[in-house]
Structure 1
């Protein structure tokens, strides 16, 4: 039996406007999206303070993204079964307390565990934000509401590095403590304003939960840790590629099981009968991949190759952050008037060009103003994406599948971030191991002959501590050399690290360009359906829209 939802205009908000639900939803979502990027600006600091390498610090991001992604299908269905309000509030409490735990962590291992719990809180909240907006707002106002939601997503994502740059000099802990007052305010508004919505009384797909979690974990673990084990043996007969293959096989079994379950599935496959829903999922994964694919290597480049402080590196993206917040509400309202696919396609086209330009500009002698201007266009591109894309994905979902649809969209969007985090760390570390020694070969030619071989020996295996504090301490001067030669060696070491790092970052960014191009093609392939100008469609029409 399924509880029938009243017409959206009759959802009981106790006399309040539908807009009253946005403050707690947007505050909660702001924290979630902020924490997908705020850690990036603290990477060199975390490496130094917690004595960790690039891969370990990469797990600080990936642990959050991993638990976030693998649980979204489950939490989307939980919202359908128990109601979005209690699930959102539970997630908000978990996220806020986990933020406190992150700040109190004294080791990188403890920080990774706390971040994983933080991801659980984010997963509980995220599908409920989209589900409640879809169910409470009538179609003619939904684009504007999604515009505000999208502005929060875009601003939080691109503001993460800026706010991180301000807080890291105070102490890296504060990039997590900042969530606590926001969480408390969001909890107040959630208890006060969020309505209790009708629920769908369905059986819980326990096997689907297990298959999705285990499959995603094995797949992402293999990608993330592949470079740690040189893409070979992990232990005994267990190999990196074996783990990845096992994850993929379990995910195939998950899809087959979902097909068997039909409408009671954790992720009803009929959702994907809609071309726009399917392509929105591809595009959502591409844009989240891009966020990771840009900020992680770009922040290291700014702080190491260009020698910027965390604050100065964060200010490079400030203009883009502001523009994203300005553009997103307009993009959301515009998607109520014109087919959203064109707004999304414009956003992808801008981002593809921006990241390509960044890959060209990533050199040790680049003029910073060029990076600032380029990142302004990045903000315009992100502002065009979030709200129209979410609107395209959720339009046509009836209330019984609102949570499942939002969960599926957010899951696939976050899978893009998880894969992006793993792929970018793997490619960047691989290219560093090649490009820095290659740059050292060129720099050695400037040294006296007796100093060349010891210099090259020091670069035979790249010491990742060079990324934490510059090359000076990472490549010590051989004993017994004159002071002037020692200075030459130190300068050559800096030149080699900066040049090799810049090349590695440039090459890594090209992968993001390719993924964004996939997002652009997906947007152009969508149906150009005009927004519904009047009231809500009948439930049977909404259900039909999902099925065709």
Structure 2
């Protein structure tokens, strides 16, 4: 049961919530500094995703490992990211945003050092696991801090800026990687350390301190079940052979893992119902707006997985070299980077339903047009811009805006973590599904076209789901009600 808080005096910063991160009425200068610190941290985590690809061949040569083993550089990062996401989010709800944000950034820097100094491949994987675990907390904690620093009418643009950091990282990542790689792949990870040091120093000075509160027990049984469920689910999906989808799904390598995941997640839900301080409060799973937001987040993960296949489609359709094909992601990434802050500003003016519905409609059009543009490279690039702008209005800011508006302030980070988990699961399912469709056509252009049309049809469904979100006036009433409850 959340304890009501005293209303802050007029003109003074809003008192923090139970986790102690709230400065809801802070002045523009202070909130701008807070946002700056959060943006650097988000960029740090996103850059590591974008920059590691160019390092893989060099890492393979250094440790004498093949491509199958190298895949664990990504896989172990994803697995521990799934564990760290709800754990760090809940800890920030209980212990405060600033200390957990700084812990995440510090652990991320430590993981980067372990990777760069690794004497063997297993040690490198330990460092990657630490990086994934730490980065799992950076974005949900940053989003929750924005919710407690910015008033509802300014949250959209702030969240939009955090979304733009991902696009910026994916644009700059290959460039930074190209500059540093000649000096050794280790430098692609060492570059994280000075950035993390800057974030730690600024966080201690700028982020609001946590308010002293009665200690609450951490839900370790729930964390163990959720972690086991998510990890076995991820491993099961990761082992599906896209070229033999259904046979591999029924194989002994896959179905036992998926069965364990189902049992663990069902047990997790029962444990949460009886826990004194649950990791994920049952009401977060029963709120209609949050259910819609998580469903749309899963869809966004599916759609993001589709971007991974764009270079392969370009190779098949236009006969370009793989290195050149990677640049054809540029129009979509650049449009998403520009569109993210625009979508954020539109959230403050029009509300989430308008932004998400319009964006998914635009995105559906871009995906359904792909079969019509695979004969023309300029048309293909132009369609990428359409897809990028559509993605900007679905991923990142809009869904997190919904969660910040609906979730109790004391559980904002935990609610934010559900969005990330849903998106990650969507990405894994999408990669397996896309691969299966493409493989069924022998890698021909027609296979890619069919896969993107399927994604377009799912996006139309997402557009219809978004119409169930609250309109702008309803969102404002919810925000006022939350403020009155806190007061």
Q: How does 1:76-95 map to 2 (within 5 A)?
A: 76-95=89-108
8 Å contact from structure 2 (residues 60, 70) kept in 1: yes
Q: Distance in 1 between matches of 2:120 and 2:147?
A: 41
Q: 1:278 to 1:261 in 2, by over 3 A?
A: same
Q: Give ranges in structure 1 of 5+ residues lacking alignment.
A: 437-499
8 Å contact from structure 1 (residues 335, 343) kept in 2: yes
Q: Distance in 1 between matches of 2:279 and 2:45?
A: 23
Q: Which residue of 2 aligns with 1:134?
A: 147
Q: 1:184 to 1:197 in 2, by over 3 A?
A: same
Deviations 1:476-509 (A, max 9, x none): xxxxxxxxxxxxxxxxxxxxxxxx3655544554
Q: Which residue of 2 aligns with 1:373?
A: 382
Residue among 516, 522, 538 paired with 2:459? 516
TM-score (norm 1): 0.73
Deviations 1:91-144 (A, max 9, x none): 112212323444556876655443322111112322210111111212222222
Q: How much has 1:70 moved relative to structure 2?
A: 2.8
Q: Distance in 2 between matches of 1:189 and 1:298?
A: 38
Q: Which residue of 1 aligns with 2:262?
A: 248
Deviations 1:350-395 (A, max 9, x none): 2233334446656xxx544333222222321233232122111211
Q: Which residue of 2 aligns with 1:341?
A: 353
SS in structure 2 opposite 1:267?
Answer: coil
Q: Which residue of 2 aligns with 1:52?
A: 66
TM-score (norm 2): 0.81
Deviations 1:418-447 (A, max 9, x none): 4445x25xx527854x655xxxxxxxxxxx
8 Å contact from structure 2 (residues 315, 325) kept in 1: yes
Q: Distance in 2 between matches of 1:531 and 1:46?
A: 52
Q: 1:379 to 1:17 in 2, by over 3 A?
A: same
Q: Which residue of 2 aligns with 1:471?
A: none
Q: Which residue of 2 aligns with 1:269?
A: 282
SS in structure 2 opposite 1:316?
Answer: helix
Structure number with greater Rg is 1
Q: Distance in 1 between matches of 2:483 and 2:460?
A: 36
SS in structure 1 opposite 2:216?
Answer: coil
Q: Which residue of 1 aligns with 2:234?
A: 220
Q: Distance in 1 between matches of 2:342 and 2:299?
A: 22
Q: Which residue of 1 aligns with 2:88?
A: 75
Q: Which residue of 1 aligns with 2:435?
A: 428
Q: How much has 1:40 moved relative to structure 2?
A: 5.4
8 Å contact from structure 1 (residues 131, 402) kept in 2: yes
Q: Which residue of 2 aligns with 1:405?
A: 415
Deviations 1:155-194 (A, max 9, x none): 4456656766776687665554443343233223222211
Deviations 1:523-544 (A, max 9, x none): 2222224376699636575589
8 Å contact from structure 2 (residues 403, 412) kept in 1: no
Deviations 1:186-216 (A, max 9, x none): 2232222111133663221111000000111
Residue among 393, 401, 423 paired with 1:384? 393
Indicate yes or no: 2:362 matched with 1:355: no
Q: Which residue of 1 aligns with 2:248?
A: 231
Indicate yes or no: 2:333 matched with 1:329: no
Q: 1:152 to 1:326 in 2, by over 3 A?
A: same
Indicate yes or no: 2:207 matched with 1:198: no
Count of residue pairs brought into register by the alignment: 467
Q: How does 1:288-299 map to 2 (within 5 A)?
A: 288-295=301-308, 297-299=309-311
Q: Which residue of 1 aligns with 2:160?
A: 147
Q: Which residue of 1 aligns with 2:327?
A: 315
8 Å contact from structure 2 (residues 146, 155) kept in 1: yes
Residue among 268, 274, 278 paired with 2:291? 278
Q: 1:52 to 1:245 in 2, by over 3 A?
A: same
SS in structure 2 opposite 1:226?
Answer: coil
Q: How does 1:96-111 map to 2 (within 5 A)?
A: 96-103=109-116, 111=124
8 Å contact from structure 2 (residues 98, 207) kept in 1: yes
SS in structure 2 opposite 1:10?
Answer: coil
Q: Which residue of 1 aligns with 2:75?
A: 62
Q: Distance in 2 between matches of 1:387 and 1:205?
A: 29
8 Å contact from structure 1 (residues 287, 519) kept in 2: no
8 Å contact from structure 2 (residues 302, 427) kept in 1: yes
Q: How much has 1:85 moved relative to structure 2?
A: 0.7
Q: 1:521 to 1:538 in 2, by over 3 A?
A: closer
Deviations 1:31-58 (A, max 9, x none): 32344455557778877886534x5554
Q: How much has 1:20 moved relative to structure 2?
A: 1.1
Indicate yes or no: 2:34 matched with 1:31: no
